[in-house]
A and B are shown apart, each in its own frame.
Chain A
Amino acid sequence: AQSVTQLDSHVSVSEGTPVLLRCNYSSSYSPSLFWYVQHPNKGLQLLLKYTSAATLVKGINGFEAEFKKSETSFHLTKPSAHMSDAAEYFCVATGGFKTIFGAGTRLFVKA
C-alpha cells in the first residue's frame, strides 16, 4: 500500500533563510512524486515532479527536491525564503491509478 508522510505540520522560517519541508513515502513500486503549493482559498499549483529521471529535481520559484530511494524521502528545499512562499505545501505520490496526498505542511515566513 502507498502512503505519504509529511513530517512537519508547520514550519516557520525567517525571510532569506533556507526552507526544508520533509516528505517520506512508502510504496511497493517506484512512484512518481510531486510537490504542490496552495495559497489561501486557491487551487493547487505544481512546484516540481520526479518521474524516475534525475534524482535532483528543480521546480518553479527556486524550489528543489531530491529523491532518495534508500531513505524513501523526497524533501523540498529552497535556499532563501521569500514572504510570498508562505502557503500550504503538499507532497503527493502517484502509482497505478492511485494518487496519495500527504497531510500538508504550512510554511510561515517571518519578516
Chain B
Amino acid sequence: DAGVTQSPTHLIKTRGQQVTLRCSPKSGHDTVSWYQQALGQGPQFIFQYYEEEERQRGNFPDRFSGHQFPNYSSELNVNALLLGDSALYLCASSSQLGTGELFFGEGSRLTVL
C-alpha cells in the first residue's frame, strides 16, 4: 500500500516564477492538507481540500492556491515566488471517517533564488 507521495522532491526557482507541487494521498484517504515548513520551524497550515473544494485555509496570501482532483490527488500552486517561500512543502492525507490522524509525504524542498 503506497503511502503519501509527493513530487518533485527538490526544485529550484527564481523570484517571480510560479511553481506547482503534486501530492497523491494514501489509498483510501479523501482529504489532503498542505503545510509549509521553513528551516528550523514547525509546519504551518496552508489549506485543506476535501471533495475537490478548499475547506479551510491558513494565514497564507492568495499567491498560494490549490486544487483537488476527483481521484483525491492534489496540487499546490505558488505564484510570484518570493525568497521567503523557500521551504519544505509537506502534503498530508487523512480520512473523514478516521480519527484525524495525518499521514505525511516526504515533502518537496523548494529553493527560491
Residues 95-111 (chain A) with a chain B CB within 8 angstroms: 95, 97-99, 101-104
Name the residue among B88, B100, B103, B109 with the largest chain A CB count within 10 angstroms.
B100
Q: Do residues B43 and A97 form an inter-chain contact, with CB atoms below 8 A?
A: no
- For residue B59, CB closer than 8 A to chain A, the reply is no
Choose among A32, A36, A45, A90 the residue that contacts B99 (Cβ–Cβ < 8 A): A32
- For residue B48, CB closer than 8 A to chain A, the reply is yes
Choose among B44, B88, B100, B104 the residue that contacts A45 (Cβ–Cβ < 8 A): B104
Given A90-B42, A90-B43, residue A43 in contact with residue B99 (CB < 8 A): no
Q: Mark B55-92, 1 if CB is under 8 A from A, else 0.
A: 11000000000000000000000000000000010101
Residues 63-111 (chain A) with a chain B CB within 8 angstroms: 90, 92, 94-95, 97-99, 101-104
Q: Mark B22-59, 1 if CB is under 8 A from A, else 0.
A: 00000000000100000001111100100000011000
Report the minimal beta-carbon distance from B87 to chain A, rounded to whole angstroms.
12
CB-CB under 8 A from A97, the residues of chain B are 48, 55-56
Interface size on B, residues (CB 8 A): 23
CB-CB under 8 A from A41, the residues of chain B are 88, 107, 109
- For residue A44, CB closer than 8 A to chain B, the reply is yes
Nearest to B88 among chain A residues (CB) is A41
Interface size on A, residues (CB 8 A): 22
Chain B residues in contact with chain A, CB under 8 A?
Answer: 4, 33, 41-45, 48, 55-56, 88, 90, 92, 99-107, 109
Chain A residues in contact with chain B, CB under 8 A?
Answer: 32, 34, 36, 41-46, 49, 51, 90, 92, 94-95, 97-99, 101-104
Please provide the 8 A-B residue pairs with the shortest distance between their CB atoms, ordered closest to farther.
A94-B100, A43-B104, A44-B104, A51-B99, A43-B106, A32-B100, A104-B42, A101-B42
- What are 17 residue pairs bridging A and B, where the CB atoms are less than 8 Å apart in the complex? A34-B101, A36-B104, A41-B107, A43-B104, A43-B106, A43-B107, A44-B92, A44-B102, A44-B104, A45-B104, A46-B101, A49-B101, A90-B43, A94-B100, A101-B42, A101-B44, A101-B45
